[in-house]
Amino acid sequence: MFVPAGLHAATAQRQHLDQLAQAGADLFEVGLPTEDAALDGPVIQAAYHRALHGGNALDHAVRAVEHAASLRPTVVMTYWEPVSRHGPACVARVFADAGADGLMIVDLPAHQAARWHETARATGLRTPRLIPRTTPDPLLPAAVAGASGWLYAPASTAPTGYRGPLDIPALVGFTQRLRTASPLPVVSGVGISTPALAARVAPLVDAVVIGTPVVRALATDPAQAPDLTAAFARALHPTTLTETRA
């Protein structure tokens, strides 16, 4: 379950994380806000901008991770800009100290990858990598090199929040290519806009991350977010909510 840090005040944010965990989310991906979230659609971008207006984004994210990690395994999702601005060593250290299991930089520059992986490993953080579907086979080994934890395979090539149909055969082919290139688990998200689509994607990958549908609820009517999370949980694991990869 993707949750942008700082969307609400700290007390409300902790309450929302509690409710989402109880509703069936078994992993949290906490987003560190940034002004230029180029791979995200309008819902998550608006959530980030709202969070940034609330003050110190890094501090809000650290507090969100501290609470999320007390509930479920937690990773941080961010862009290179805030990591570069605060310093890779600082970012890795504060989130590792907060209890994060890993940190994924979705637009990690190729020339910074080795440095980042080394810095993160020194703090005990895993370094998942988002791999664009357009990555050609000859470049896959370099794209997955140094990654740890898992590989993130977007279910859609559109920005987050896409609500259209998914090209399931293309996703099947892509996940097969990733499994050939790396032994790491494959996780999917982006464009998984309904529980029905989540149920279709789940058999193809090792885990599914739900983002925009729940972020939209958190931003407009937080009371709806637990029920929506539970609906995705039931679709992904019909027999049990406690094992849901939401």
Question: Per residue in 161-214, pLDDT tens?
Answer: 999 999 999 999 999 999 999 999 999 999 999 999 999 999 999 999 999 999
Starting at the edge strand that comes first in sequence, how are the strands of the sheet with 2-4 ordered?
2-4, 28-31, 74-78, 102-105
Q: Which of 18, 35, 40, 221 is catalytic?
A: 40
pLDDT of residue 147: 96
Active-site residue, selected from the candidate residues 18, 26, 29, 221: 29
Q: How confident is the model at residue 48 (pLDDT cuts 50, 70, 90)?
A: very high
Residue 74 pairs in a beta bridge with 28
40 is catalytic: yes
The pTM is what?
0.93
Burial 36-50 (b: 16+ CB within 10 A, else e): ebebbbebbbbbbee
Residue type, 115: R
